């Protein structure tokens, strides 16, 4: 079931403040005290000062691919924490056919097959995606879709480079600081994986799974986490494909939960934004809708019967919502 949330009036969203400091618990507001962006560090830097990496990707095209296909706005899909471009491969192939356009799935830095690099936060994640778009030289502006960490990344791209995207779709995340919310077990996942791989040096994947089971009872989630491991041969020590130390540090210092922007300084009004949330998830509660509107005044929200893993839990409803939004808004633009 898809629940449609009534669109909020922009005049009700003018006098809002943002939660931009990772040192402030979720739900508390830091007053805006500066009229320049210097206190945001390099969050808005687009001068090349942020070191970028070339992202690995997959392109999925519809049957009978031709120049008209390339002329349409491509869809770029970004995964969440511990994910990769393979997570949405099946859905992306189907979307390519339904939307009659190219769909690109990217591996973000430190995940999948993309390069490992010490920095892992939203300015750097966004800068990589911006580089990918610039180098791809698409005929039309892309439609950016991201889940969880990927959702914050596509929102960051829109704020940093407002003219880059045609539409933005955030799947189960919002432009708020969640560092004090205790909303996830991601830090515990990293700790258990490092124990299993670095301390105990297991050679059997079942042993690693048992370590994860101490902090995660859902076998589907554990199986998803285990896709980040390289099992090797039978007696080989299991290795991680991703840099657990870098990821663990970014989780611990709040970079993944943070939101290093301020709606008093930046907002995106160059196109429509869709927020898709899971009905059983706590990542996009009603009380942060004003925060969403302060950054993305032209937004809509749809609720799908699912938890946080919206795309994998309910792919049919996800596709239905996304296709309807893109086709309707594309006619309006």
- Length of the chain equals 333
**How would you classify the pairing of strands 273-278 and 167-171?**
parallel
Rounded to an integer, what distance in angstroms lies between the CA atom of residue 278 and that of residue 284?
8
Q: What is the sign of the dihedral through the CA atoms of 140, 159, 255 and 28?
A: negative
* Distance in angstroms (rounded) separating the CA atoms of residues 90 and 83: 14
Structure tokens at 315: 């792919």
Q: How far apart are CA 281 and CA 283, in angstroms?
A: 6
CA–CA distance, 244 with 228 (Å, rounded to integer): 10
Active site residue 308: yes
Helices and strands per DSSP (H, E), number in the chain: 11, 10
Contact 87, 171 (CB under 8 A): no
Catalytic one of 114, 263, 308, 312: 308
Distance CA 127, CA 146 (A): 15
Residue 7, SS3 per DSSP: coil
Identify the active-site residue in 21, 114, 124, 148: 148
Residue 27 CB contacts under 8 Å (≥ 6 apart), including other chains: 19, 180, 181
Residue 269 annotated in active site: no
Helix (H, G, I), strand (E, B) or coil at 3: strand
What residues act catalytically? 148, 308
């Amino acid at each position: 079931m898809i629940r449609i949330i009534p669109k909020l009036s922009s005049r009700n969203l003018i006098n809002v403040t943002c939660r931009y400091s990772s040192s402030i618990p979720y739900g508390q507001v830091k007053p805006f005290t500066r009229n320049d962006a210097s206190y945001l560090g390099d969050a808005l830097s687009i001068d090349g000062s942020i070191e970028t990496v070339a992202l690995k990707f997959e392109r999925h095209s519809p049957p009978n691919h031709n120049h008209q296909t390339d002329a349409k706005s491509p869809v770029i899909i970004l995964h969440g924490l511990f994910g990769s471009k393979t997570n949405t491969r099946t859905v992306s192939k189907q979307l390519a056919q339904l939307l009659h356009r190219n769909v690109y799935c990217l591996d973000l830095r430190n995940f999948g097959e993309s390069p490992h690099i010490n920095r892992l936060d939203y300015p750097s994640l966004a800068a990589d995606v911006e580089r990918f778009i610039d180098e791809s030289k698409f005929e039309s502006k892309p439609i950016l879709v991201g889940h969880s960490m990927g959702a914050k990344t596509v929102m960051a791209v829109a704020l940093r480079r407002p003219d880059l995207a045609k539409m933005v779709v955030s799947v189960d995340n919002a432009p708020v600081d969640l560092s004090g919310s205790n909303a996830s077990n991601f830090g515990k996942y990293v700790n258990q994986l490092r124990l299993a791989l670095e301390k105990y040096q297991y050679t059997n994947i079942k042993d690693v799974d048992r370590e994860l089971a101490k902090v995660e009872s859902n076998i589907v989630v554990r199986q998803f986490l285990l896709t980040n491991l390289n099992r090797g041969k039978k007696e080989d020590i299991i290795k991680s494909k991703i840099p657990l130390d870098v990821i663990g540090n970014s989780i611990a210092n709040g970079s993944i939960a943070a939101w290093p922007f301020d709606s008093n300084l930046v907002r995106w009004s160059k196109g429509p934004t869709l927020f898709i949330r899971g009905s059983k998830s706590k990542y996009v509660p009603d009380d942060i809708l004003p925060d969403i509107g302060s950054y993305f005044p032209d937004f809509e929200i749809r609720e799908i019967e699912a938890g946080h893993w919206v795309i994998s839990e309910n792919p049919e409803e996800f596709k239905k919502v996304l296709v309807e939004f893109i086709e309707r808004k594309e006619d309006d633009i």
